[in-house]
Chains A and B, each alone.
Chain A
């Protein structure tokens, strides 16, 4: 666990989110510290993806407050685009831009949002492609890449914005088993660099190795949270035990 002195990077206070009658987030409060790695687990429909997506307002919450790096995104006065610049997001379905090459994928937002020159952007992109291990694909179009490679492009694209927080929404769930490792390796490497990470995943090995804190959600609420040791060895809640028994 990070030291308690770290400032809070994401603060959620009494957050509610409804989809029609369904209460997707039910009075969720959560603080994520600067540099902390949080892994969210839970059955499908438990609200973990909704929680993640509400942090960069891909889902708008109905009640409560979410404060990211000091900016209250539930305040309509806040420029959400400014907040999103600080939050990188990686999706289950990669969502790389199919009409752009790998390099252009990573350059695009740098140039139009961060206002970097093309040369500057390309330098950063190449550096990141090196880091995620696919520099040889720099001029390929995404449809020539495997799922694992596309996801690594997506990670590089998010990192190029130099975000303070990275959100991962089941980044390996759409991947063939042999490609999961290469994506998790990149994420593990990233975790060691001190960036704040919130990860929704079913990869328990990753949670054990990387997480400072594991949070188990069900029915839109946080059922239990704790360090990986506590969480996997001595879960206290009955529902956590049942869930862990099912997946381990």
Chain B
């Protein structure tokens, strides 16, 4: 096995990789500095929230009581969108590695178009475009818009994961008489899964943060609940302080959760 790994390296000379995610940094044990940064920000955020709500319950405690409904909506949008995006991403990724030119073309076009348009513009567009054809609730169109956008990025993650599996695996499966879809399902995708888990985790955190954009679409997510409170009480600074802290705590918790999950599945980083 060691020999094969060496051979792979020869084929593709090792280049430095700059891996900067756009989510909260997912803490890993080897990275002691980051691990500390995670702790400091997590404990710090909780301490500040606690201090503010206790020292000046009005307005901070009032704000905090007002937000949970929004947190729930934020989670609903995020989870629903990520599930949809994973499904779209799987098919897009398969399309991107397909030898069928038409399927490949459609998948590539989708990825190119979506990646070239800002998420906020897509949200508006899909929201109003959907509104013209069918009457969908705001929440549903927000979820669809997020999923369509993230599906393109997921598609690229799936494509990269599939392509990272050694080509000999496909040859071995095919030489045993499997069809290409059987080989994909039983041999390639299970192996690709391990490689794509960390970037999918990153996308999940990124999607949770981007879900704040749906607050412009009459969806009462965390940010929108904050806006509603601020608009009534005029406590803009206090409200957005709390909103920011709550987002921070959630994303930090989530990245921790994902890193634990990755350890369980045995992802090599």
Render A54-90 as a binary contact track against B, CB cut-off 8 A, 1 for contact.
0010100000000000000000000001101101110
Interface segment out of the listed B147-155, B169-177, B214-222:
B169-177
What string of 1s and 0s marks CB contacts (under 8 Å) between B6-17 and chain A?
010000000000
Contacts A93-B4, A143-B1 hold; do A112 and B178 have CB atoms under 8 A apart?
yes
Say whether B175 contacts A174, CB under 8 Å. Answer: no
A109 adjacent to chain B (CB < 8 Å): yes
Chain A residues with Cβ under 8 A from B182's Cβ?
A: 112-113
Q: Does A91 contact B (CB under 8 A)?
A: yes
| B19-27, B183-191, B238-246 - the one binding chain A | B183-191
Contact present for A109 and B178 (CB under 8 Å): yes
Contacts A91-B168, A112-B182 given: A142-B1 contact, CB under 8 Å?
yes
Residues of B within 8 A of A142 (CB): 1
B-contacting residues, A15-52, CB 8 Å: none
Question: Which residues of A are found within 8 Å of B4, using beta-carbon distances?
Answer: 93-94, 174
In the complex, how many residues of chain B place their beta carbon closer than 8 angstroms to a beta carbon of chain A?
22
Report the minimum CB–CB distance from B174 to chain A (whole Å).
7
Tell whether A14 is near chain B: CB-to-CB under 8 Å.
Answer: no
A150 contacts B1, C-beta separation under 8 Å = yes
Alpha-carbon distance A230/B68, docked complex (angstroms): 87
Q: Which of A3-11, A95-103, A186-194 contacts B (4 or more CB under 8 A)?
A: A95-103
**A93 adjacent to B168 (CB under 8 Å):** yes
- Scan residues 128-186 of chain B and give those whose CB is less than 8 A from a CB of chain A: 166, 168-169, 171-179, 182, 186
Cβ of A228 within 8 Å of any chain B Cβ, yes or no, is: no
The listed residue with most A CB atoms (<10 A of its CB), out of B3, B176, B191, is B176
Cβ-based interface call for A157 (8 A): yes
Min C-beta distance of B237 to chain A, whole Å: 52
Interface flags, B107-140, vs A, CB<8A=1, else 0: 0000000000000000000000000000000000
Shortest CB distance A73–B (Å): 13
Residue of B at shortest CB range from A157?
Answer: B176
**Chain A positions 176-191 with a Cβ under 8 Å from a chain B Cβ:** 176
In the complex, residue of chain B having the shortest beta-carbon distance to the beta carbon of A144: B1
Q: How distant is A196 from chain B, measured CB to nearest CB, in Å?
A: 16
- A198, CB-defined interface residue at 8 Å: no
When the two chains form their complex, are residues A161 and B177 in contact, meaning their CB atoms are under 8 A apart? yes
Interface of B is mostly: helix
Cα A87 to Cα B177 in complex, Å, equals 9
**A199 at the A/B interface (Cβ < 8 Å)?**
no
Q: Given A81-B179, A84-B176, A99-B190, is A147 in contact with B169 using a C-beta cutoff of 8 Å?
A: no
Residues of A within 8 A of B176 (CB): 84-85, 108-109, 113, 157-158, 161
Q: Is B171 in contact with A91, judged by CB distance below 8 angstroms?
A: yes
For chain B residues 203-258, which have a beta carbon within 8 Å of chain A?
Answer: none
Q: CB-CB < 8 A to B175: which residues of A? A: 56, 58, 84, 87-89, 158
- A90-133 toward B: CB 8 Å interface, digit per residue (1/0)? 01011111110000000011001110000000000000000000
| B169/A81 in contact, CB under 8 A | no
Do A91 and B178 touch across chains, with their CB atoms under 8 A apart? Answer: no
Chain B nearest CB, measured from A96 CB (Å): 8
- Minimal beta-carbon separation of B15 from chain A (angstroms): 23
Shortest Cβ gap from B105 to chain A (Å): 22
> Complex: how many Å from CA A58 to CA B173?
11
Please give, as numbers and ranges, the residues of chain A lying within 8 Å of B191 by CB-CB distance.
97-99
Instruction: Give the distance to chain A from B204, nearest Cβ to Cβ, in Å.
Output: 23
Within 8 A of A (CB), among B1-50: 1, 3-4, 7
Q: A85–B177 contact, CB under 8 A?
A: yes
A158 to B179, CA, bound (A): 16
Q: Which residues of A contact B168 (CB under 8 A)?
A: 91, 93, 95
> Within A133-154, which residues are at the interface with B (CB < 8 Å)?
142-143, 145, 147, 150, 154
From A93, A94, A108, A176, contact of B186 by CB (8 A): A108
Residues of chain B within 8 A (CB-CB) of A147 are 1, 3
Residues 144-176 of A at the B interface (beta carbon under 8 Å): 145, 147, 150, 154, 157-158, 161, 174, 176
Shortest beta-carbon distance, A91 to chain B, in Å? 6
Whether A95 contacts B1 by the Cβ 8 Å rule is no
CB distance from B223 to the nearest CB of A (A): 41
A87 neighbours in B (Cβ, 8 Å): 175
Q: Which 5 A-B pairs have the closest CB atoms?
A: A95-B172, A109-B176, A85-B177, A95-B168, A89-B175
Task: List 15 contacting pairs A-B, 8 Å CB cutoff, sorted by A.
Answer: A56-B175, A58-B174, A84-B174, A89-B171, A93-B166, A95-B168, A95-B171, A97-B169, A98-B191, A108-B176, A109-B177, A147-B3, A154-B172, A158-B175, A158-B176
